[in-house]
Amino acid sequence: MTKPSIAEASCADDYDPNSMPVDKARAFIHRFLEPLTAQLRVPIRDALGRVLASDVVSPVDVPSHRNSAMDGWAMRGADLRPDADTTLDEIGASFAGRPYAAPVGTGQCVRIMTGGVVPEGADTVVMQERAKARGTRVTFAAGARTGQNVRHAGEDLKRGAVALAKGRIVRPAELGLLASLGVGEVAVFRPLRVAFFSTGDELKSVGTALGEGEIYDSNRYTIHGMLRRLGCDVLDMGVVRDDPALLEAAFREAAANADVVITSGGVSVGEADFVKGLLGKLGEVVFWKIAMKPGRPLAYGRLQGAHFFGLPGNPVSVMVTFYQFVREALLRLMGADPVMPFPTFPATCTARLKKAPGRTEFQRGVLSRGPDGGWTVAPTGDQGSGILKSMSEANCFIILGDSVGNVEPGTVVEVQYLEGLV
Ligand code: AMP
Ligand code: MG
């Protein structure tokens, strides 16, 4: 299937760049994302946070041998009388890592510990709580079932079966699983290279003094943090002034050196006009006013082979648009599969929220356990899109859908917990 061009797709019937619903913008972007293919082999510890580039096939059976699920005795199930006690002779012991080497015959049993190899001949384990030993004579209570408490080789995972599928993000559990299979190296996709810069004549970098009307560039720091958390390789290109020649040079350099280019600022009305022309010349970019708050202006497209996200300038808008659009897109480009939308769940709002219908709002909230054990949420003070403190104090987004109006205390709202997302 050939992909439509971004410009063509933007001409779709229901496409309205002046009021693009959040879900539609997200779906649109996803049509243009093709995951990385380049991969490298790394020792498993270095794979943490990376995406597996091929299926990991188990080289062994898990468990590797028939073993006991209990501390007790192993014997032939046929020796145990179903409706009366049975007494057998203990002939040895099988401990984890120290198997009993000989077969178990009729009338015999072997002391066995959890994980111990079930000796040849035996097929059943009776746990010690159902047995009484007097010297080497061991009596077992009635009611045992042949085959009980025995874990079979390959029961958890058969040799040759896919243990971890391509596209899986490696977390601590995957590291442990790989190690349990004796796998010391895996193929992962190479890290995604992301170049970013801030635009604006008013911006100064940390470490320099502010002149009148100037502010510190904070977006480069939040963007750095959000990208590093995702495991991207970052190329911080600093602040670029609102000057067409400088911007063009920056866009070209970014696109030449990265898989993805992210900018902040310069996409609001007025400013967008000249950036639009510039990006039209360098690639294929669409400009949207997303029906959301904060984060209305957003540009997305291709820039000479790189993916491009033009985020708004306001610091909170940058973070909200990153988490609602860019994060998922980057994970997909990194080769992650599936990419789940970050989950939302209901919580009772304890305060009144101001909200106009017609757009989706991402207010910043603090989620806590209410007195009855349910989740409650309260907004973090002033919700202005320039107020980073509201993001810093928050542990969740309160997501108020398009049709929602003002929210009264006691209303159930959708929240998105930020831990794990940020
Ligand atoms: P813009 O989208 O360029 O019009 O920027 C919108 C608002 O965000 C303005 O108040 C800018 O000063 C502010 N802003 C833009 N870029 C940054 C930045 N990198 N760090 C902090 N604030 C910014
Ligand atoms: Mg600006």
Series of mean pLDDT values for 10-residue runs along the chain (422 residues): 65 70 91 94 97 97 95 98 96 94 97 97 98 97 96 95 97 96 97 97 95 97 96 97 94 98 90 85 93 92 95 95 95 93 94 94 96 95 87 96 96 93 62
Ligand closest in space to the Cα of 270: 1
Which of 333, 352, 376 is where one domain is finished?
333
Examine the domain organization and report whether 82 and 179 are in the same domain. Answer: no
Q: Name the one residue in this structure whose structure tokens are 């049975």.
A: 86
Residue (of 219, 281, 221, 226) closest to 251 by Cα position = 281
Q: Ligand 2 centre and the CA of 234: distance in Å? A: 22
Distances from the Cα of 122 to the Cαs of 68, 125, 147, 182, 186, in angstroms? 11, 8, 9, 28, 38
Q: How many domains does the chain have?
A: 4
pLDDT at residue number 1: 47
Q: Which of 219, 220, 263 most suits a substitution to test ligand 1, by most atoms within 8 Å of the C-beta?
A: 219
Name the residues around ion ligand 2, CB cutoff 5 A.
200, 265, 313
What is the distance in A from the centroid of ligand 2 to the CA of 273?
A: 12
Does 249 share its domain with 119? no
135: left (phi over 0), alpha (psi -120 to 50) or beta: left
Give this prediction's pTM. 0.90
**Is residue 116 one of the residues assigned to a domain?**
yes
Ligand 1 interacting residues, C-beta cut-off 6 A: 198, 200, 202-203, 215, 217-219, 264-268, 271, 312-315
Whether residue 247 sits in one domain with residue 300: yes
Supply the angle between the helices 271-282 and 244-257 in degrees, to the nearest 10.
Answer: 40
What domain range is 128 assigned to?
67-151
Q: Are residues 84 and 197 in the same domain?
A: no
Among residues 307, 333, 359, which one ends one of the domains? 333
How many other β-carbons are positioned within 10 Å of the β-carbon of residue 106?
Answer: 10
Q: How far is the CA of 26 from the centre of ligand 2 (A)?
A: 24
339 falls within a domain:
no
Protein residue whose Cα sits closest to atom 16 of ligand 1:
313
Domain check: are 298 and 221 in the same one? yes
Q: Residue 98 Cα, ligand 2 centroid: separation in angstroms?
A: 70
Q: Of the residues 151, 180, 213, which one is the last residue of a structural domain?
A: 151
Instruction: Assign residue 357 the CATH number of its domain.
Output: 2.40.340.10
Q: What pLDDT score does 16 carry?
A: 76
**Does 62 reside within a domain?**
no
Same domain, 52 and 112: no
Instruction: Identify whether 410 is part of a domain.
Output: yes
Distance from Cα 278 to the centre of ligand 2, integer Å: 15
Q: Which ligand is nearest to the CA of 297?
A: 1
Ligand 1 mean position, distance from CA 80 (Å) = 79
Which residue's CA is the nearest one to ligand 1's atom 17? 313
Q: Are residues 351 and 411 in the same domain?
A: yes
pLDDT of residue 2: 55
Q: What is the pLDDT of residue 55?
A: 98
pLDDT for residue 209:
96
Tell which phi-psi region holds residue 182, choosing left (phi > 0), alpha (psi between -120 and 50) or beta. left
Verify that 276 and 200 share a domain, yes or no.
yes
The predicted structure's pLDDT at residue 8: 67
422 falls within a domain: no
Q: How high is the pLDDT of residue 128?
A: 97
Residues 50, 179, single domain; the answer is: yes
> Which residue puts its alpha carbon closest to atom 10 of ligand 1?
314
Structural domain includes residue 338: no
179: domain CATH number is 3.90.105.10
Do 237 and 322 sit in the same domain of this protein? yes
Residues 121 and 171 in one domain: no
pLDDT at 342: 86
CA-atom Rg of the chain in angstroms: 30
Q: Are residues 231 and 323 in the same domain?
A: yes
